[in-house]
């Protein structure tokens, strides 16, 4: 299934090449067919800036300080006046309150050189809260405080308390808290039962028209679930049980909203963005055309941005034109031509080959270099879609039939020159660019 997006103005300009990005595929591993997906939202740089501004507002209690400081670090932003923040934490701390200890400990961990004083009584209060008789929120916050303060805890006992509590508090926010707490425990603990709760929560998500996936509880719960699911999955090094279309629908839900109702909601969005930009399994990627929609001798350069959901360039990406040929004559004008990386933008001088007027197909790869010399690749042409191995040393794709390699998760969305894709660490996207010279 392939979609073309034509720029406004058609073919009117003589001597220009109009670039348009072809669309959209989700490949099933069985290759029974390809399903078009429509992910359409991410955080632009201006969105990230507004999110930072909201998180950077003054705070008057430990909870708001936690959302502000930790939320800023999730976005990779600097925390203003860390020494002043540390002093505020110490002045507001109630050593007899689990909530107070959690907010202070987590916030102090996010800034350098801030040590929260801990007494034996404080430790005992936190350990006592790790019990099936405590609420799930209290268990999560006690575990978080103990972990951030560097205090020991019996991980397997925590697992028992979490499991027992899930049976009593079988609701979305409680289970998210359980996932968050489990990610702070020893990897030697039996965390499989808690990990299975990710699949259980996924089944509770509401599917809105095949585009959005969210909890009835709203944006904050949905975003915290994504952050918690990937946090625990990274911790145990096990891929979360989320299907490709589910992740993209979650991305749509979380980033479609461009203003946030509260500090905690902004924090949840920042947490999800950080998790989706940096995890071991699934990284949504935004590929977008930069600059004008036409290319001429005065404007000869095709430009692409390859970023994460926070619009940060992906340094591991490379872009290569496999071939560019005139549709009418099938004459190649470019072969194996790499885009150059210049200050976060991938550029290619399309006019360097002096192409004549006509309609062109440009097949390009966006790929990510990791340890193996073998990668998955998506092979597209005008009639078929195939999945294969790419041997980078030979620069060739080998068709697989039947396909049994669990290696590729991919989405692409064509919308105002924006492509969304989703890759695992060994997958490659082949972009098709249609070019017109009139």
Give the residue from 432, 387, 384 showing the smallest Cα distance to 408: 387
Please tell me the number of Cα atoms within 13 Å of 232 on its side-chain side: 28
Task: Quickly count helices (H) and strands (E) in the chain.
Answer: 13, 16
CB 408 within 8 A of CB 30: no
Residues 216 and 178 in one domain: yes
Residue 8 maps to a domain: no
Residues 148 and 293 in one domain: no
Residue 380, SS3 per DSSP: strand
Residues 227 and 138 in one domain: yes
Residue 127 maps to a domain: yes
Residues 120 and 190 in one domain: yes
For residue 157 the two structure tokens come to: 């006992």
pLDDT score of 146: 98
Residues 255 and 295 in one domain: no
Residue 231 maps to a domain: yes
Q: What is the pLDDT of residues 43-57, one digit of tens each?
A: 999 999 999 999 999
Range(s) of the domain holding residue 165: 45-277
Residues 362 and 241 in one domain: no
Q: What is the pLDDT of residues 201-256, one digit of tens each?
A: 999 999 999 889 999 999 999 999 999 999 999 999 999 999 878 988 999 999 99
The DSSP letter of residue 34 is: B
Residues 292 and 172 in one domain: no
For residue 5 the two structure tokens come to: 């997006």
Helical (H) or strand (E) element with 182: helix 172-182
Residues 6+ apart with CB under 8 A from 26: 34, 35, 36, 37, 244, 245, 410, 411
Residue 186 maps to a domain: yes
Environment class of 127 (CB within 10 Å of its CB; exposed 0-12, middle 13-18, buried 19+): middle
Which CATH number does the domain housing residue 210 bear?
1.50.10.20
Cα(415)–Cα(24) distance, rounded to whole angstroms?
10
Residue 353 maps to a domain: yes
* Radius of gyration over every alpha carbon of the chain, rounded to an integer in angstroms: 25
Cα(78)–Cα(104) distance, rounded to whole angstroms?
18
Residue 9 maps to a domain: no
CB 285 within 8 A of CB 314: yes
Residues 109 and 249 in one domain: yes
Residue 398 maps to a domain: no
Annotate 415-427 with b (16+ C-beta within 10 A) or e (fewer): bebbbbbbbbbbb
Residues 257 and 290 in one domain: no
CB 363 within 8 A of CB 429: no
Instruction: Give the Cα-Cα-Cα angle 27, 254, 109 (nearest 5 degrees).
Output: 115
Which CATH number does the domain housing residue 307 bear?
2.60.40
Of 234, 260, 277, the position where a domain reaches its end is: 277
| Residues of the chain with confidence (pLDDT) below 70 | 1-39, 292-295, 357-438
pTM: 0.75
Distances (CA, A) of 365 to 23, 261, 307: 14, 40, 15
Q: How many domains does the chain have?
A: 2
Number of neighbouring beta carbons within 10 Å of residue 155: 18
Residues 167 and 306 in one domain: no
Residues 123 and 272 in one domain: yes
Render 132-166 in DSSP notation, one character per residue. TTS-HHHHHHHHHHHHHTT----HHHHHHHHHHHH
Residue 416 maps to a domain: no
Residues 240 and 301 in one domain: no
Of 259, 277, 295, the position where a domain reaches its end is: 277
Of 218, 252, 277, the position where a domain reaches its end is: 277
CB 338 within 8 A of CB 318: yes
């Amino acid at each position: 299934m392939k979609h073309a997006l034509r720029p406004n103005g058609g073919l009117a300009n003589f001597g220009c090449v109009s670039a348009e990005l072809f669309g959209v595929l989700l490949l099933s591993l069985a290759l029974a067919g390809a399903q078009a997906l429509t992910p359409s939202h991410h955080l632009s740089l201006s969105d990230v800036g507004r999110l930072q501004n909201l998180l950077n507002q003054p705070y008057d209690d430990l909870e708001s300080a936690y959302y502000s400081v930790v939320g800023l670090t999730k976005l990779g932003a600097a925390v203003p006046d860390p020494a002043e923040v540390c002093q505020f934490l110490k002045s507001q701390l109630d050593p007899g309150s689990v909530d107070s200890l959690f907010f202070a400990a987590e916030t102090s961990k996010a800034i350098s050189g801030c040590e929260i004083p801990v007494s034996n009584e404080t430790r005992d209060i936190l350990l006592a809260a790790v019990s099936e008789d405590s609420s799930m929120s209290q268990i999560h916050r006690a575990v978080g405080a103990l972990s951030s303060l560097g205090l020991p805890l019996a991980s397997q006992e925590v697992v028992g308390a979490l499991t027992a509590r899930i049976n009593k508090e079988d609701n979305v926010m409680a289970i998210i808290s359980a996932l968050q707490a489990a990610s702070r425990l020893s990897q030697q603990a039996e965390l499989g039962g808690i990990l299975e709760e990710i699949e259980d929560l996924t089944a509770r998500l509401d599917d809105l028209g095949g585009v959005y996936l969210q909890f009835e509880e709203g944006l904050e719960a949905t975003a915290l679930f994504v952050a918690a699911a990937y946090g625990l999955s990274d911790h145990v090094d096990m891929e979360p049980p989320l299907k490709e279309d589910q992740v993209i629908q979650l991305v749509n839900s979380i980033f479609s909203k461009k203003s946030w109702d509260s500090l905690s909601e902004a924090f949840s969005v920042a947490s999800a963005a950080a998790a989706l930009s940096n995890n071991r399994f699934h990284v949504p990627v935004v590929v977008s055309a930069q600059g004008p929609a036409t290319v001429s001798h005065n404007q000869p350069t095709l430009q692409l941005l390859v970023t994460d959901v926070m619009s940060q360039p992906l340094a591991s990406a490379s872009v290569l034109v496999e071939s560019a040929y005139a549709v009418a004559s099938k004459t190649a004008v470019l072969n194996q031509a790499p885009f150059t990386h210049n200050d976060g933008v991938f550029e290619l001088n399309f006019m360097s080959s002096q192409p004549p007027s006509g309609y062109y197909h440009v097949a390009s790869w966006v790929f990510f270099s990791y340890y193996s010399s073998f990668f998955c690749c998506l092979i597209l042409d005008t009639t078929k879609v195939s999945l294969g191995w790419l041997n980078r040393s030979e620069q060739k794709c080998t068709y697989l039939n039947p396909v049994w390699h669990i290696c590729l998760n991919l989405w692409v969305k064509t919308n105002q020159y924006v492509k969304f894709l989703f890759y695992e660490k060994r997958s490659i996207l082949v972009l098709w660019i249609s070019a017109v010279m009139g």
